[in-house]
Amino acid sequence: MNPNGVPVPPDRAQAARDVAKALTSASHVVLTTHVNADGDGVGSEIGLWHLLRGRGVSVTIANPTEIPERFHFMIPDGADASDRAVREIERADMVASLDIGDLSRLGNLAAVINKRQPPPPLVCIDHHVGPVKLPPGPSLIAPEATATAELVFDLASVAGWPLTPEVAQALYVGLLTDTGGFRFSNTTARALRVAAALLEQGVDPEAIYASVYASAPEGRVRLLAEVLQTLVVEPEVGLAWVSVPPDALRRHEVTADDLDGIVEFPRSIAGVRMALLFRHIGNGRIKVSFRSMGEVDVAALAHQFGGGGHHRAAGASLPGTMAEVEEKVLSAARAFLANGRSV
């Protein structure tokens, strides 16, 4: 039994030891996560920031896009350098990517990493399904893990790094958001044991809920109302989808983060096995969010379009107009469901 009370699988423990050794041997570590970071990406990197600072490591967070406002309550003073992310990556002694296994998910920072010769050593901590497309380096990757935050918890456990209340709060946010408030199918018994260990460090679940889920700007609610007006359901197939009008974010004065959770509404309809959300992301591309119920493996469908994710939650971006991408993806989704593709 480790100090945090939750046993770590042996293979994961060895990987965690390798990652801990690499991170604590670097003179300056830059932590980063994917474009439009979610609660797991942000919570994991903030938790790891506190852990490394506690070990005397110089560490900075530098993301390709700003941390969403609803997670600002967790950010330590001086930790977030995303406004100068390129400079931080250029001077990094080591880069640690959290919640991604593909360098392209880092947006413009991917080119900065590739441009450095030799490239900086890169550590990966991730729980996504699919091939890893990162420069070689120590990694802690476990697709069976509920969230990347669970892996950061394991890293601390194996390394013997104490969980401060700040670390526990950040990792709890990662678990909470990636499980949909402990409602999704990735809510394992182990995830709940990890959550319990975090609560024992003084985490206030109601305060975190209020910050993450009950602090919405008015525009987010109006955006939800508008997007749900586009709902289409094909009950005979078990398919439902919504589309975000191209100027909706601007009109409602919100960001892409305010779309989080909207795809769960079409997924909640009785008989729906797959739900999709389509939105413009610029540069002539459309982002598609895939969600499923039961045993439908949407990661396999997303892979057809160069995307990835988990069995029941995945994403991809495709070139083309909204109509073109919808036609292509919906046709593939209907065939996918008709063929009984599942986990």
The percent of residues above 70 in pLDDT, for the chain, comes to: 98
Residue 1 in this model has a pLDDT that exceeds 70: no
Sheet holding 285-292, edge to edge: 232-234, 239-243, 274-282, 285-292, 313-319, 308-309
Residue 343 in this model has a pLDDT that exceeds 50: no
pLDDT digits (tens, 9 = 90+) for 194-252: 999 999 999 999 999 999 999 989 999 999 999 999 999 999 999 999 999 999 999 99
State both tokens at 12: 């994961």
pLDDT at residue 135, as a whole number = 82
Residue 163 in this model has a pLDDT that exceeds 50: yes
pLDDT at residue 212, as a whole number = 94
Check whether residue 201 and residue 125 sit in a common domain: yes
Using alpha carbons, list the distances in angstroms from residue 247 to 243, 310, 326, 334: 12, 29, 18, 28
The reply to whether omega before 235 is within 30° of 0 (cis) is no
Residue 264 in this model has a pLDDT that exceeds 50: yes
The number of C-alpha atoms within 13 Å of 213 and in the hemisphere containing its C-beta is 13
CA dihedral 126, 132, 137, 138 (to 10 degrees): 40
pLDDT at residue 341, as a whole number = 61
Sheet holding 139-141, edge to edge: 58-61, 28-32, 94-98, 122-126, 139-141
Check whether residue 235 and residue 149 sit in a common domain: no
Check whether residue 241 and residue 314 sit in a common domain: yes
- From 163, 196, 212, the end of a domain falls on 212
Instruction: Calculate mean pLDDT across residues 326-330.
Output: 98
Residue type, 265: F
Q: Alpha-carbon distance 328 to 222, whole Å?
A: 29
Residue 261 in this model has a pLDDT that exceeds 80: yes
CATH number at residue 231: 3.10.310.30
**pLDDT band at residue 24 using 50, 70 and 90 as cut-offs:** very high
Check whether residue 17 and residue 79 sit in a common domain: yes
Q: Alpha-carbon distance 255 to 119, whole Å?
A: 32
Using alpha carbons, list the distances in angstroms from residue 127 to 33, 38, 139, 191: 13, 14, 11, 13
Residue ranges making up the domain that contains 245: 218-338
In this structure, is residue 2 part of a structural domain? Answer: no
Residue 179 in this model has a pLDDT that exceeds 50: yes
CATH number at residue 186: 3.90.1640.10
In this structure, is residue 5 part of a structural domain? Answer: no
pLDDT digits (tens, 9 = 90+) for 76-101: 999 999 999 999 999 999 999 999 98
Q: Give this prediction's pTM.
A: 0.88
Tally of domains in the chain:
2
Check whether residue 240 and residue 289 sit in a common domain: yes
CA dihedral 48, 50, 52, 56 (to 10 degrees): 170
User: For the range 260-266, what are the long-range contacts, defined as Cβ-Cβ under 8 Å and sequence gap of 24 or more?
Assistant: 260/38, 261/180, 262/223, 262/224, 262/227, 262/228, 263/289, 263/291, 264/180, 264/291, 265/224, 265/228, 265/231, 266/231, 266/233, 266/240, 266/241, 266/242
Check whether residue 125 and residue 151 sit in a common domain: yes
Name the DSSP class of 231. -
Check whether residue 228 and residue 188 sit in a common domain: no
Check whether residue 101 and residue 125 sit in a common domain: yes
The number of C-alpha atoms within 13 Å of 126 and in the hemisphere containing its C-beta is 28
Residue 310 in this model has a pLDDT that exceeds 70: yes
Check whether residue 239 and residue 207 sit in a common domain: no
pLDDT at residue 181, as a whole number = 94
Of 30-34, 114-118, 173-177, 283-287, give the lowest mean pLDDT range.
114-118
Asked whether the beta carbons of 153 and 48 are under 8 A apart, the reply is: no
- From 169, 185, 212, the end of a domain falls on 212
Instruction: Calculate mean pLDDT across residues 282-309.
Output: 93
pLDDT at residue 308, as a whole number = 85
pLDDT at residue 305, as a whole number = 96
Check whether residue 126 and residue 250 sit in a common domain: no
| Integer-rounded Cα radius of gyration of the chain | 20
Check whether residue 79 and residue 178 sit in a common domain: yes
**pLDDT band at residue 129 using 50, 70 and 90 as cut-offs:** confident
pLDDT digits (tens, 9 = 90+) for 106-127: 999 999 999 988 888 999 999 9
pLDDT at residue 12, as a whole number = 96
